[in-house]
Structures are given as structure tokens and as C-alpha cells.
Structure 1
Amino acid sequence: MNKSDIRKKMLQIRNNMDEHEKQIRDNKVFSNIINSNEYKSSTNIFLFVSYNSEVDTHKIIRHSLKEGKRIFVPKVISRKDGMETIEIKGFSDLEKSKHGILEPCSDKYANPEVVDVVFAPGLAFDKNGGRLGYGAGFYDRYLKLLKKSTAKIGLCYSFQVVENVPMEEYDVRMNGIITD
């Protein structure tokens, strides 16, 4: 399958999950994240703010802030300029973008090199670190700005792990995947 076919298939499956199944899966992902070595050993976490049928990160964000971890989330500047790293202290620091996605209100950018671990979204992942995003390249460009020691972990549901994600030379591989 090509990238476009995989994207369509995964979005369809994810969007058709019933709410109860999604909640069960999200709780398992939450538990697997907070018990992971990458999470436990990190202070500065970069995490997407989930939207629609993505793995729920809202619970992870709230839990992390209560634990005293620093949470950084993406703010899309433009297709050309990519996205920036912005620290949040809570959901009151977020507002809906023109696409309906929660993003930071602030323009106080942080240096991506402060990040210890990135939990990245994707439509599909493979066991070799391949990641298939939504196709705009925001994360691939962003991940190249991190220090080499920053762990890059894909977050998804188990059905989103496929045999092989087609990769281009500009695509950035993950160090691991956390699923339900």
C-alpha cells in the first residue's frame, strides 16, 4: 500500500471506533505511557494535543502537569515555517486554531533542544521506527531540530502498527512506539 492508501484506511478505522472502545484503548495507552522509561526519566515532554479520533493526550497532559513535569506542545506557524515549541501550564493556555485544534495562545517559543522526549502522533507506524503522519511534514521538520538524545516515541492504537511504512529520505524515524 502507498502512503495515501494507508492514511485513508487508518483514518477510517480510527474514526469508526465506538466511544467505549476508544476510552478503553486510551486508558491503556495512558497507563503504558506513564509507566514507560521514557516518560519516567523525562522532565520536559513535548506532546501533541489530541484532536478528534487521535489517541487522547488530554489525560496525559493533566497527569504530567500534576507530577511537576514541563509540558510543551506544538503551535503551527504556517505550512512554510512549520511548528514551534511552546510550554503550557494547563488547558487555559490553549485556544482553538482555525482548524479546530487546541494550540497555545502564547507566542513565547521554547528552544526544541530542552525537550527530553517527544510523543508524536501518526496515522501508522512500523516496528522499524517508520512513521506516517498526515502528509504536511510538520513533525519530520520539527524532529530534526531536537538534540540527538531526545527520545522520539510514536503514540497510536495497536491497529495502527503496520508491517511497513513507506519512508522517504526526509522522513524521521521513531525510537519506539507506545500503543494500547
Structure 2
Amino acid sequence: MVAKEILRNRLKNERKALGAEEREQCSEMITVHCLEYLKQLPQVKHVHLFLPIKRLQEINTVPLLRRLFQLDYQVYSSITVHSSRKMATVRLTAETVYVNDKMGIPVPVPAEFVTETNLIDLVFVPLLGIDTSGNRLGYGLGFYDEYFKELGSEVLKIGLSFKAPLETEIPHESHDVPLDGCIYPEGMVVLNKK
């Protein structure tokens, strides 16, 4: 297994190497695949979506967010509570206004906090990389692993990636929660069946 930090740095550098135009094209293709995937899941009504952090050159999820509203999905995101290393769920609407917090993360203002996270059917997850077993490599803070434990095992966890799953196994520990699938510019792969 490749050391986590070495792999994380390599994937960050590969993402930086993508030009802004290429990142936007990839984001558009990922949006199309997300919507195609959701069509196959009529039972999914409540979707959690990360908001893109520009300085990290993440996938632009704003067009997907707009389409989810147009298609009448209930949409949620999270606000990171750094002091407790937790994520608090917030409801989003088409009228929600966003400002960047001190880390450059878009947050809704005012935030409508949600305590009934058991309503969430599917979470679209940011990542740097994922392997064919669903092991996710994020930024190394563990926020999503903790959040997944709060949501329960029935929630679909789908990573959004600029790249297909890696053949190389990502180092993981017992507390790491594997994802169920990955959507990337060329399509989607289911990694763990529910």
C-alpha cells in the first residue's frame, strides 16, 4: 500500500494540474452522470451534497445543486464545526444565500439546521481518490467518517471524483467508512452493493 500522505499529495498535485476549463468540463459530465444515477433511484428524495471549495479546486457541484432543486429533491449540506470535529446538517433551498467561512467553505446564511438526518437517502461525497473497494482518500480530517456513522448504514454514499477508482489500495483503518460508489467524468462504478 502506498503511504496515505504521499498518495494524498500526488492526487492533490494531479488535480492542480487540471486546467480550470478541464475541471469545469469534468464537473459538467459528473453532473450529468449524477442525474442519470438518481433517475435509477426513484426512492431517493433527500440528497446531501457538498458545496465546492474553490481553493481546493473541487468538483463544481453548483449546477447539480440547481438541477436537484428543479427536480424537487430535498437538498442538504453540512457546516463543519471545527472545534468538535463534527459536521452539522443544514437544509438548502433554491433561495439559500451562501458566504465563505474562514476556511473558504461556502455556508448558507442563515443556516437552517436539521436534526433529523435519518431522512437523508444519499450523500454525494468529495474526495481526492477512491479505490475499487470504496476506500476514500479525503483531506485527512475524518469529518465524513464521523458523519456517516451518525447517518447510519442504509444511506448511499457516492464519491464524486475527477478520476476513476484507483487500482492501488488506499490505506485505511477500521474506523474508515467505505463508499458505495463513485461518479467520475467517464461514468459511474458501484463498489459496494446495498
TM-score range, shorter chain: over 0.9
Q: Secondary structure, in 3 states, of the residue corresponding to 1:145?
A: helix
Residues 123 and 160, structure 1, Cα contact 8 Å, conserved in 2: no
User: Partner residue of 2:133?
Assistant: 128
Shift >6 Å, 4+ stretches: none
Match status 1:163 vs 2:164: no
Q: Which amino acid aligns with 1:173?
A: P
User: Partner residue of 1:30?
Assistant: 31
User: Partner residue of 1:101?
Assistant: 105
Q: Secondary structure, in 3 states, of the residue corresponding to 1:103?
A: strand
Task: Pick closer, same or farther for the CA change 1:34–1:68 going to 2, 3 Å.
Answer: same
Q: Which amino acid aligns with 1:59?
A: P
Match status 1:51 vs 2:53: yes
Which structure 1 segments of 5+ residues have no match? Answer: none
Match status 1:118 vs 2:123: yes
Q: Which amino acid aligns with 1:134?
A: Y
Mean Cα displacement is larger for which, 68-77 or 82-91? 82-91
The TM-score normalised by the length of structure 2 is 0.86
Query: Displacement of 1:132 after TM fit?
Result: 0.9
Which structure 2 segments of 5+ residues have no match? Answer: 186-194
User: Partner residue of 2:191?
Assistant: none
Query: Displacement of 1:31 after TM fit?
Result: 0.9
CA distance in 1, matches of 2:97, 2:90: 10
Query: Displacement of 1:159 after TM fit?
Result: 5.3
- Give the aligned CA root-mean-square deviation in angstroms: 1.8
Q: Which amino acid aligns with 2:150?
A: L
**Same amino acid, percent of matched pairs:** 24
CA distance in 2, matches of 1:162, 1:120: 20
